[in-house]
Amino acid sequence: MMTDCFVGFDTSNYTTSAAICTVEGEVLANIKAPLPVKEGACGLRQSDAVFAHVKNLSSVTQQLKEALRGCRVLAVGCSTRPRTQEGSYMPCFLAGQAAAGSFAAALDVPVFSFSHQDGHIMAAVASCGAEASLLQSPFCAFHVSGGTTEVLRVESVEEGFSVSLIGGTADLNAGQAIDRVGVMMGLAFPCGREIERLAAQWQGKLPPLRTCVRDGYCNLSGLQNLAEGIWKTHRDPAMVSAYVLAFVGKTLRELTAHLDASAPGIPVVYAGGVMSNRYLQELLSKRPNTYFAEPQFSADNAAGIALLCRRRWQGQ
């Protein structure tokens, strides 16, 4: 018997992804291929990202083909823009959009488009253990990654999510600051996992955390400067890594406190690659009604897109 399923494609600035979920919402496959970044670099130009996605998609779709054995695809979803708002655009999503369109046309099934951010939110909601309750009423989501640090008011709607920006960063993104400090210390990009590993080795006292949060918005550019100063003085990667995570954690906690002042007790979901960090999760989990994506669904992935495709198809 064939298993009915949905396919999702996501081509973010650093990962080529494809995923499969069933009609019941079970994720059968979550395929990811990182984009190569040159040693010492802190990211990719869009033209290089598009080219890398084109190269990756051949192997990703081959893995997708193998994972789809015994399955019947009902619809295909893809991310076509960073956010669900007018003017939101990044060329790297064109690669996934083209792949999804070709894939759907070959199977003669519909293709639905979503934002990359909505995919992150859906992946977090579906994996945090509270999907049913979160989708019934408005909640807030933190999207914290290398390209985004935003606080969002979210409401489930038929086409996905209705999202309003209510806070976030006024300069650097959290993942951006983490990666810049990591590359400064000679770590390979992206640096999040290695920063977390090194931070766990630090047992001493840290320099003061001079965070800056006002009216729901934070400034993180100072973190890079402070970390550079600590590095020049101590040359201790564990100390610098622990300082960076403590700084980001305190900033997120202050942003959450500002949110609670205006909407006490509202459910909060933390999504995005930075939020796979166990230190940050432990720091923020003390707040009631707080949820986190499972690690495999925190970083860029297409599982959320496949799940959104499922919801859209079921709502037709």
CA angle 120, 215, 265 (to 5 degrees): 60
pLDDT at 166 over 80: yes
Assigned CATH for 3-128+296-314: 3.30.420.40
pLDDT at 303: 98
To which CATH superfamily is domain 168-292 assigned?
ATPase, nucleotide binding domain (3.30.420.40)
- For 51-60, write each residue's pLDDT tens digit: 999 999 999 9
Strands (E), 36-110: 71-81
Predicted pLDDT of residue 224: 95
Domain residue extents for the chain: 3-128+296-314, 168-292
SS3 for 196?
Answer: helix
- Whole-angstrom Cα distance, residue 231 to residue 100? 45
The pLDDT assigned to 146 comes to 92
**Tens of pLDDT along 78-128?**
999 999 888 899 999 999 999 999 999 999 999 999 999 999 999 999 999
Where are the strands (E) in the chain, listed by range?
A: 3-11, 15-22, 27-34, 71-81, 111-115, 139-144, 149-157, 160-169, 213-214, 217-218, 268-271, 290-292
Report yes or no: 144 and 310 within 8 Å, Cβ to Cβ. no
| Whole-angstrom distance, CA of residue 183 vs CA of residue 150 | 24
Q: What average pLDDT does the structure give for the chain?
A: 96
Asked which of 97-106, 150-159, 180-189, 230-239 is least confident by mean pLDDT, the reply is 150-159
At 315 the pLDDT is: 84
Instruction: With a cut of 80, say whether residue 270 has pLDDT above it.
Output: yes
Residues sharing a CB contact under 8 Å with residue 213, sequence separation 6 or more, in sequence order: 251, 254, 255, 258
Average pLDDT over residues 136-162: 94
pLDDT tens, residue by residue, 215-248: 999 999 999 999 999 999 999 999 999 999 999 9
Mean pLDDT, rounded, for 132-161: 94
Tokens 């894939």 found at: 103
Token pair, residue 68, equals 């789809």
pLDDT at position 1 is 83
CA distances from 299 to 174, 273, 312 (A): 13, 4, 23
> What pLDDT sits at residue 295?
87
Lowest mean pLDDT among 81-85, 130-134, 206-210: 81-85
Closest C-alpha to 219, from 167, 257, 269: 167
Residue 316: pLDDT over 80: no
One fold for both 3-128+296-314 and 168-292?
yes
Helix (H, G, I), strand (E, B) or coil at 188: coil
Asked whether residue 196 carries a pLDDT value surpassing 80, the answer given is: yes
Tell me the pLDDT tens digit for each residue of 31-44.
Answer: 999 999 999 999 89
pLDDT, residue 282, reads 95
Share of the chain above pLDDT 90, in %: 94
- State the average pLDDT over residues 9-26: 97
Higher pLDDT, 171 or 296: 171
pLDDT of the residue at 205? 96
